[in-house]
Structure 1
């Protein structure tokens, strides 16, 4: 790209699979807001025509729905292609989206062309998450940047992994949201001899002023927890490992006399399993499921402690958000980006993935008084995820 200079207005598109309430979707909105605040003509494109649960706070960001699957199925051959892709998926593990993308990519190119006829050509197009850029991988465009939000699993596609990952990553401009996520991508690329155009680490942006405002915004239609509590927040899915948090909480009550309740905010396919575990441990009177919340920040703000119990994290945005709300944090020392956040004295609150270790760190965080070194390390950790800094990194990397 040529002609970029500080203060120059560029046209940027951020692309995400949907606008449901989720970590990746919130980051896509935050990144769009960050570019708009810097004066860029910013557009947010999403693929799934489902209820919009979250959107950018900046009214200057334009939203566009590209319903690729519907566009493909409207053509008679698109239905035939979907059936064929379903059959191929039987023989090639998790390959449906890869094969179906041959049709979806054509739909995306068509809709992008139509949009650019109205708005002008985009200078940079950023796809957030592998589930997003999988829809368009057949397209080769120098303006495209693919962002990996999580760690990579080299066996994801089974015996076809080398070929599938080559289709996704070969000659792409890649961004990883943490050094930990980058290490897993580079390892995958080396293992399969895949060459990327570039692999950079650019983290996720945060609007700290917005977070602080929202953290004290209590809506009358939401019943907040009245007793002191420890918070777990995220999708109720295996990777977030909420059963470990419940086991650690139970251990801390039994061995350390922990008094706070445990509050879990989120929805997901493990909800019934988690309910059963709570009942089996006899914790119904002190562990509470609060469901999905449109504004999570007051839940951070009012918590005595936030705990991340994940098996792996591309970055760990919930830790950043909790720290920004002034809440103490504990996290499992899992693969990915948690180590990018828990720096210096914060590393003392990293636990092994066992109930005993996590319980010990929870009690340490609750009982230890804040120190100047800890406050300085928190400020340093937050600084690297500031929205203006992240927006500038993208512009410096791709608009010069």
Structure 2
């Protein structure tokens, strides 16, 4: 089958890595696979399988080069003043035309796609006016029913009516179904299909020598992700400080990632006097050696559509502590792993960190890690897509 995976861009990020992983997984199973990205930005991540073909559909550039692109851009910005957070949705009327044109041109060269998978709401919001029975839209996160304020019903109806939807965890599916039932939005289908992983590649990348990791010779606790409010790194820092004060832990705290909350996080580290033990390492193109070198990985998020970083840490053989937050974390942290789920409080998270550091992981832990990882293997995920969307093609 001929498959296209579509993503907004290929910067360093969880959704972008997942799009590459899904492309690799389809190619590995013998499908003619193409990865389409929509923004002409630096490519930081890309598929590992050489059989995956990359295509840039620079939609905004195409619109701006058209005769009325600049006028439409100004109109959309004015509409965004009246209807907040809607610029992308209105601009999508033009971008959808550009996408349709580029897709037709590509299919003239290589043949018609059997399935086109859009990863993330930030991706398919650029082309939402299009209707195509081959499109599948993947929601990566929990839904906020009031995201568009008084206009939420209308806008979510635009996005989701008569779509084939996939959510990446049971909790994300429940959240999505609650949204469409609240606003009485008719979807064609809603499925739960998780994110794929290539464990062999993760472990290979984790074994690559890294000067940055090797330079940090002191044992450390790891936090990794975008430095944004939802990842709640201030909670991790407070819990780390509490654990140093009450459980006498000696490890450093290392946070890998970049984002708009960096200044806030740096300020908290300074306020708590942790400048010599808590370190921000910035964005890393290969984060896996950091996982492998950590004594424990900690997820402190307020919510997670799935929690890919937990899967990656477990695949690297690293113990995990995570907040029991809304989303897919509990889909991963099952059995013995559930003992390391913390409430979203400083003391609870600190206690679980101390527990993970003091206790050798049991045989049951190893068995439950293996069971958990099996559910997110690339071959299994591709089979779910094929069974759901290609079996009757």
Q: Check whether TM > 0.5.
A: yes
Inter-partner Cα distance in structure 1 for 2:118 and 2:259: 24
> Which residue of structure 2 lines up, in the alignment, with residue 243 of structure 1?
234
CA deviations over 1:145-175 (Å, ceiling 9, x no partner): 0000000000110100000000000010000
User: 1:222 offset after TM fit, Å?
Assistant: 6.5
User: 1:369 offset after TM fit, Å?
Assistant: 2.1
Inter-partner Cα distance in structure 2 for 1:198 and 1:344: 31
> Which residue of structure 1 lines up, in the alignment, with residue 41 of structure 2?
50
* 2:194 is the alignment partner of 1:229: no
Inter-partner Cα distance in structure 2 for 1:387 and 1:224: 33
- Aligned pairs (5 A) from 1:1-400: 10-220=1-211, 224-400=215-391
Contact 1:15/1:125 (8 A) holds in 2: yes
CA deviations over 1:199-251 (Å, ceiling 9, x no partner): 00000001011111111111457754210000000000101000000000000
Moved more, 382-391 or 210-219: 210-219
Inter-partner Cα distance in structure 1 for 2:216 and 2:315: 20
Inter-partner Cα distance in structure 2 for 1:334 and 1:222: 29
CA deviations over 1:235-293 (Å, ceiling 9, x no partner): 00101000000000000001110110000000000111111110110000000111111
Structure 2: unaligned runs, 5 residues or longer: none
Inter-partner Cα distance in structure 1 for 2:78 and 2:164: 31
Contact 1:93/1:160 (8 A) holds in 2: no
Inter-partner Cα distance in structure 1 for 2:229 and 2:367: 34
Inter-partner Cα distance in structure 2 for 1:381 and 1:299: 21
TM-score by length of 2: 0.98
Inter-partner Cα distance in structure 2 for 1:81 and 1:155: 27
Contact 1:86/1:96 (8 A) holds in 2: yes
Give SS of 1:289's match. Answer: strand
Contact 2:213/2:289 (8 A) holds in 1: no
> Which residue of structure 2 lines up, in the alignment, with residue 4 of structure 1?
none
Contact 2:213/2:290 (8 A) holds in 1: no
Inter-partner Cα distance in structure 2 for 1:216 and 1:293: 15
Residue-pair matches, total: 391
Contact 1:170/1:195 (8 A) holds in 2: yes
Give SS of 2:68's match. Answer: helix
> Which residue of structure 2 lines up, in the alignment, with residue 6 of structure 1?
none
CA deviations over 1:357-400 (Å, ceiling 9, x no partner): 00001011111222222111111110000011001111111001
Inter-partner Cα distance in structure 1 for 2:238 and 2:201: 34
Inter-partner Cα distance in structure 1 for 2:264 and 2:148: 27
Give SS of 2:11's match. Answer: coil
Contact 2:222/2:296 (8 A) holds in 1: yes
Distance 1:222 1:377, change over 3 A: closer
TM-score by length of 1: 0.97
Inter-partner Cα distance in structure 2 for 1:48 and 1:225: 35
Contact 2:210/2:289 (8 A) holds in 1: no
Structure 1: unaligned runs, 5 residues or longer: 1-9
User: 1:345 offset after TM fit, Å?
Assistant: 1.5
Give SS of 1:76's match. Answer: coil
RMSD, matched Cα: 0.9
Inter-partner Cα distance in structure 2 for 1:163 and 1:217: 49
Distance 1:222 1:339, change over 3 A: closer
